[in-house]
Chains A and B, each alone.
Chain A
Amino acid sequence: MTGKEDVYRGPAIRALCRITDGTLLQAIERYMKQAIVDRVPSVSSSALVSSLHLMKISYDVVKRWVNEAQEAATSDNIMVQYHALGVLYHLKKNDRLAVSKMLNKFTKSGLKSQFAYCMLIRIASRLLKESEEGHESPFFDFIESCLRNKHEMVIYEAASAIIHLPNCTARELAPAVSVLQLFCSSPKPALRYAAVRTLNKVAMKHPSAVTACNLDLENLITDSNRSIATLAITTLLKTGSESSVDRLMKQISSFVSEISDEFKVVVVQAISALCQKYPRKHGVMMTFLSNMLRDDGGFEYKRAIVDCIISIVEENPEAKEAGLAHLCEFIEDCEHTVLATKILHLLGKEGPRTPAPSKYIRFIFNRVVLENEAVRAAAVSALAKFGAQNENLLPSILVLLQRCMMDTDDEVRDRATFYLNVLQQKQMALNATYIFNGLTVSIPGMEKALHQYTLEPSEKPFDMKSIPLAMAPAFEQKAEITLVATKSEKLAPSRQDIFQEQLAAIPEFMNLGPLFKSSEPVQLTEAETEYFVRCVKHMFTNHIVFQFDCTNTLNDQLLEKVTVQVEPSDSYEVLCCIPVPSLTYNQPGICYTLVRLPDDDSSAAIVCLPDHLLSQLGLASALPPFRCSLITSVHPTFPRWSLLSPSALLLKRPQFQDQTLVLCSLLTQAIVCLPDHLLSQLGLASALPPFRCSLITSVHPTFPRWSLLSPSALLLKRPQFQDQTLVLCSLLTQAIVCLPDHLLSQLGLASALPPFRCSLITSVHPTFPRWSLLSPSALLLKRPQFQDQTLVLCSLLTQAIVCLPDHLLSQLGLASALPPFRCSLITSVHPTFPRWSLLSPSALLLKSPQFQDQTLVLCSLLTQAIVCLPDHLLSQLGLASALPPFRCSLITSVHPTFPCWSLLSPSALLLKRPQFQDQTLVLCSLLTQGESQGATLCPSR
């Protein structure tokens, strides 16, 4: 390779590289590098091509020659350029960016070699396809510019690249098609062939784009090259109109025997498509197809024809008899067992319903006499179907079947005996079950079941009933089926079968074993929320798979990597989550969560609630997946985690609040409708009252969401407070019961405030201890040092008392306790008082350990409240004189322990929190007023 004679060096390099292995390559590396940049084209080309071959042996070594290849790419020789480009691409093809850079460089600098241009076009179209970016990309422009290249090879490559690009519009195709149209009239057969072949592909997707070329294509029908003529005709068949079909068919039949099987299949496919398009032309097609069927041809070709005829027969009732006749003729001399059995099956299915079924019997029985075992068996089955459906043929069929019982083959004999006996019963039901319908179970299901059966040998015989039924449409619309909410009993097994298949298709779930049971889907959200989530639980031997069907209901949002976070307790371990890659508008996606069941089966508690109870509750059908969580919450012995798992998870993520609400309301509803005697039967009577109150809140339609959330959130979040909460709740319930309605209405609260009833009443009930007032913000109970502030807070909850006339209060024994709290109470009952102010304090209080700040916020809320308080009320409270000028400082005075300074700081705090700015504005104005007054107040104290 370093010899003096240039013509020897190229072959020497090629030969050397051919016999080199990885270890020897190091030794010749230096020479290879030199050779790649050699000025002699043949040497350089040889070195480049050899390095391309060597990449398979040692990619890493060749990778080091990239600079040399780069240099070679600038060579003047067309082949060197081409080879260098090829080597560079193969070295860089895993790095998209590098490829696109290289492409940019070469498209700008321009190349001499037509081969290199073809390569560039291929690289560019690959990049375009991978990136799926629009056709505004510079690469597309480059390909299009190549349509004007002087080499036909490049023009054709560019046109073909454009046509093969996905989602090309007709406008983008137009230049490529017109170039191909020119090629159609080229004297070179190869060029004509290439053009027609590509146009044929265009016609599959965009028939209208090719209609412009119809004239040129028609000229090609008489082309001496049969391949070109065939392609031209099939293209015309795709683009042509009904009127031209006859003429085209005639032309095809004139040369169909001369073309290869591949093209015959293409022709048959084109005809098949045509039959669907123009069903009235079936006569012409059928004659043509039957002629083709008589000709010689391979299996693939015959099968294409038979499939085509079968599809015509099935779709077009007019063509049925002619089609069956042709097929009968075909099986008289058919060497392909598969086709013969297929046709016999079709005859058995369609034949008995034709006007003259008897004429098929001869063809079928001929098969029994002449053919091999498989065909004979199929023929016997077909005969039986005729016998089952045609009374007058039955005696003859029985005779024929009796003859079949002498057959040499077991299967044929068995079938004949079986069918004969069934037919002799003359019972339609038997006929229907055993003759027409055959195997109704799902084939994959049966395969699986049989496999399982052979793996675990048992004494029991295999039970066909254990296999799910096959539902033909169910398989086609898999995705849809899983999303249909209500399903009939009959569908259920096949649905499970589908789930089994779907889950088995996911690599993570492959080793879970057989699917034990799948629950009905349960909605986790209401239909009108931003996303619609439904859950289906799949039980396996040791695992549960939660399947979440998510639907994005916002048409302006695309959700990506959607997961549903599940946080079970310790013993339940989340093994993996499979997210939905992306969720477009209204396109349901499925994400899965795999949870391992603990070894000790604590979920046995689920069993404790009998099904009839649930059904009594009207929940049996809707709730199954939530059954356990439902029951856990009503049954005290049920482990805590189940209570926590949905709520803890959902509460953490603000976007799932809605779900929690749904869940809670489900729980509460259930309990509400549960009669007492049932509860006591369950041993829950004493435990339940706490939930009743929350139930009531949810029952009331006008009650805002958050209020539903807050108690349940608290209850669910902190299991350690359940006891207290329970006490509280029971008190609430009791209170509600004891407070007559007229009293409530007297309070002006009866209609508007049902949810508050309980909290209201708790505070008025004499036996209610003070701390229990605090429990809604259960947290506060924990910290006795904050009781003072908490008292203020709690007054928010006991709002209505303010409106309560004194005599009533005294009646309740609260008269003395109340005055200090009165003003704070007013805040919450005043209609203009914004909701958030009620909500936010608790949120704030719960969040941070220091309650000072929260208190300040709270205070500011109070201040606001007082501001909106009508004067006459204030005066009624004995505050009228003190208020107008110093409304804010007033509050400090309401509570003796409340320090004066705390009034001043809220603004600072509130300003920090953007969500409070609006309020802050109001507040600040108050503060400015208050500060000046406060300044005067403080010294006076």
Chain B
Amino acid sequence: MEALILEPSLYTVKAILILDNDGDRLFAKYYDDTYPSVKEQKAFEKNIFNKTHRTDSEIALLEGLTVVYKSSIDLYFYVIGSSYENELMLMAVLNCLFDSLSQMLRTQEKCREATLLENMEGLFLAVDEIVDGGVILESDPQQVVHRVALRGEDVPLTEQTVSQVLQSAKEQIKWSLLR
């Protein structure tokens, strides 16, 4: 146990969950094998939901894991880490996830289940930008939104500004040289 506390590691996050109003899974990503099978995961999610959906607090200790959570209308966001993990780090991840989703979904105040389901691909991309394999990749929501949002189709040349054209030309030359 002591070793667990002190083994310095970048692997911080054990899971990220988003549950709906009934405690059913909308999105779940587990980064290690604390809960290897879907059945165990579902049971864990049910347990988490039961313990947290009534209260408005944002942190709890469940099954030996630290759970930080946030709710928004009909959505419940969870970030789960080891009980020895720095709770504030987990909080940073949760905040980043929540804020970037809020921005991406263009909802000024709160996210809703409906809007989230419409932008599922954005959610997946955002989560991947925030945590990679348990390691916190980015904690700044602006950066996350930026990285996810620019992923549109290429804008036709005619509709680009002069500077954009120049920029892309520069890039192309540079990469052809590099190769």
Best-surrounded residue of B55, B132, B150 (most CB of chain A within 10 A): B132
Are B8 and A119 neighbours in the complex by a CB distance under 8 Å? yes
Q: Which of A122-130, A455-463, A750-758, A828-836 contacts B (4 or more CB under 8 A)?
A: A122-130
| Contact across chains for B61 and A227 when beta carbons are under 8 A apart | yes
Other-chain contact of A224, B56, B88, B136 (Cβ < 8 Å)? B56
User: Does B6 lie within 8 Å of A260, measured CB to CB?
Assistant: no
Residues of A within 8 A of B63 (CB): 262
| Given A4-B171, A189-B58, A260-B62; A194-B136 close (CB under 8 Å) | no
Contact with B along A187-200 (1 / 0, CB 8 A): 01111011001000
Closest to B154 in A: A5
Given A46-B132, A89-B8, A260-B51: A190 and B61 within 8 A (CB)?
A: no
What B residues does A5 contact at CB under 8 A?
Answer: 150
Interface residues of B in 2-39 (CB under 8 A from A): 2, 5-10
Determine the main DSSP class of B at the interface with A.
mixed
Q: Is A52 an interface residue (CB 8 A)?
A: yes
The answer on a CB contact under 8 Å between B64 and A194 is: no
Q: How many residues of B contact A (CB 8 A)?
A: 47
Interface status of B172 (Cβ within 8 A of chain A)? yes
| A196-225 residues at the B interface, CB under 8 angstroms | 197, 223-225
Chain A residues touching B, range: 35 or more
Closest approach, in angstroms, between the C-beta of B166 and any C-beta of chain A? Answer: 13
Measured CA separation A916–B96 after assembly (Å): 83
Cβ of B92 < 8 Å from any Cβ of A? yes
Asked whether A776 is an interface residue with its Cβ less than 8 Å from the other chain, the reply is: no
Q: How does the 8 Å CB contact mask read for B60-89 relative to A, with 1 for contact and 0 for none?
A: 111110001000000000000000001111
**Chain B residue nearest in CB terms to A42:** B147
A164-B5 contact, Cβ under 8 Å, with A190-B88, A260-B62: yes
Is the beta-carbon distance between A153 and B88 smaller than 8 angstroms? yes
Does B143 touch A at the CB level, under 8 Å?
yes
Is A79 touching B64 in the complex (CB atoms < 8 A)? Answer: no
B10 touching A83 by the CB < 8 A rule? Answer: yes
Contact B86 A153 (CB under 8 A): yes
Q: Given A49-B133, A79-B139, A83-B135: A262 and B61 within 8 A (CB)?
A: yes
Given the interface pairs A4-B172, A49-B132, A52-B135, the reply to whether A225 lies near B57 with Cβ below 8 Å is yes
CB of A153, distance to nearest CB on chain B (Å): 4
Partner of B59, one of A50, A125, A164, A190: A190
Mark interface residues in A38-58 (1 if CB within 8 Å of B CB, else 0): 000110011001101100000
Residues in B whose Cβ lies below 8 Å from that of A89: 8
Main secondary structure of the interface of A (DSSP, over half): helix
Contact partner, A193, options B59, B129, B135, Cβ 8 Å: B59
Do A157 and B57 have beta carbons less than 8 Å apart?
no
> In the complex, A263 Cα to B139 Cα: how many Å?
31
A895–B128 CA distance with the chains assembled, in angstroms: 105
Q: Is B178 part of the binding interface, using a Cβ–Cβ cutoff of 8 Å?
A: yes
Q: How far does the Cβ of A78 sit from chain B's closest Cβ, in whole Å? A: 8
Q: A223 to B63: give the CA distance in the assembly, Å.
A: 22
Contact A227 B135 (CB under 8 A): no
Q: Give the distance in Å from the alpha carbon of A197 to the alpha carbon of B172 in the complex.
A: 55
Q: Determine the distance from Cα of A46 to Cα of B60 in the docked complex, in whole angstroms.
A: 31
Q: Taking the nearest CB of chain A, how far is it from the CB of B31, in angstroms?
A: 11
Given the known interface contacts A45-B138, A262-B62, the answer about A164 and B57 at a Cβ–Cβ threshold of 8 Å is no
Given contacts A7-B151, A227-B59, A262-B62, contact A190 B138 (CB under 8 A): no
Contact of B92 among A41, A42, A153, A164 (CB under 8 A): A153
A53 and B133: CB pair below 8 A?
Answer: yes
Q: Which residues of A contact B86 (CB under 8 A)?
A: 118, 153, 156-157, 160, 194
CA A179 – CA B179 in complex, angstroms?
Answer: 54
Complex: A52 Cα to B31 Cα, angstroms: 14
- Mark B134-178 against chain A: 1 for CB-CB distance below 8 A, else 0: 011111000100110011000000000000000010011001001
Which chain A residues (88-143) contact chain B, with CB distance < 8 Å?
A: 89-90, 115, 118-119, 122-123, 125-126, 129
A321 near B: Cβ within 8 Å?
no
B136 and A115 within 8 A (CB):
yes
- Complex-state Cα separation, A534 to B147, whole angstroms: 74
Task: State whether B10 touches A227 (Cβ < 8 A).
Answer: no
Q: How far is the CA of A41 from the CA of B140 in the complex (A)?
A: 12
Nearest CB of chain A from residue B156's CB, rounded to whole Å:
16
Q: How far is the CA of A160 from the CA of B7 in the complex (A)?
A: 14
Query: Are A224 and B55 within 8 A (Cβ)?
Result: yes
Q: Please tell me if the beta carbons of B89 and A153 are within 8 angstroms of each other in the complex.
A: yes
Residue of A nearest to B174 (CB): A4
> What 0/1 readout, one digit per residue, does chain B (98-137) give for beta carbons within 8 Å of chain A?
0000000000000000000000000001001100110111
Name the residue on B nearest A122 (C-beta): B8
- Considering only CB atoms, which chain A residue lies closest to B143 in the complex? A42
Take A123-B8, A160-B86, A193-B87 as given contacts and tell me if A49 and B135 are in contact as well, using a CB distance cutoff of 8 Å: yes
> Do the beta carbons of B10 and A126 come within 8 Å of each other?
no
Contact B88 A191 (CB under 8 A): yes
Contacts of B8 in A (CB 8 A): 89, 119, 122-123, 126
The complex places the Cα of A673 from the Cα of B56 at a distance, in Å, of 90
Whether the pair A42, B135 counts as a contact (CB closer than 8 A) is: no
Are B135 and A118 within 8 A (Cβ)?
no
Within 8 A of B (CB), among A9-28: 10-11, 14
B91 in the interface, Cβ–Cβ < 8 Å?
yes
Chain B contacts for A119, CB-based, 8 A: 8, 10
B128 touches A190 (CB 8 A): no
Instruction: Write the nearest CB–CB distance from B140 to chain A, whole angstroms.
Output: 8
Closest to B170 in A: A4
Whether A732 sits at the interface, judged by CB under 8 Å, is no
Q: Are B138 and A152 in contact (CB under 8 A)?
A: no
The answer to the question of A167 belonging to the interface, with a C-beta cut-off of 8 Å to chain B, is no
Residues A227 and B178 in contact, CB atoms below 8 Å apart: no
Bound Cα distance A119, B135 (Å): 12
Does A226 sit within 8 A of B, measured CB to CB? yes
Residue of A nearest to B7 (CB): A126
Residues of A within 8 Å of B62, CB to CB, are 260, 262
- Chain A residues lying within 8 Å of B61, measured Cβ to Cβ, are 197, 227, 260, 262-263
Give B25 Cβ to nearest chain A Cβ, in Å: 20
Say yes or no for A86: interface residue by CB 8 A criterion. Answer: yes
- From B58, B128, B147, B175, A225 is in contact (CB under 8 Å) with B58
Residues in A with CB closer than 8 Å to B178 are 2
Query: A89–B7 Cα gap in the complex (Å)?
Result: 11
Which residues on B sit within 8 Å (CB–CB) of A780? none
The answer to whether the Cβ of A594 comes within 8 Å of any Cβ in the partner chain is no
Bound-state CA distance A764–B114 (Å) is 122
Residues B6 and A225 in contact, CB atoms below 8 Å apart = no
In the assembled complex, 27 residue pairs joining A and B whose CB atoms fall closer than 8 Å, in A order, are A4-B171, A4-B172, A7-B147, A7-B150, A11-B129, A42-B147, A45-B137, A46-B137, A49-B137, A50-B132, A52-B10, A52-B135, A82-B10, A82-B136, A83-B10, A86-B9, A86-B10, A90-B9, A119-B8, A119-B10, A160-B86, A190-B91, A197-B87, A225-B59, A225-B60, A227-B59, A227-B60
Q: A123-B8, A226-B57, A262-B61 are in contact. List 13 more A-B contacts (CB 8 A).
A: A11-B128, A14-B132, A52-B10, A83-B135, A118-B89, A119-B10, A156-B86, A164-B2, A164-B5, A223-B57, A225-B59, A228-B57, A263-B61
Of all A-B residue pairs in the complex, the 3 with the closest CB atoms, nearest first, are: A225-B57, A122-B8, A86-B10
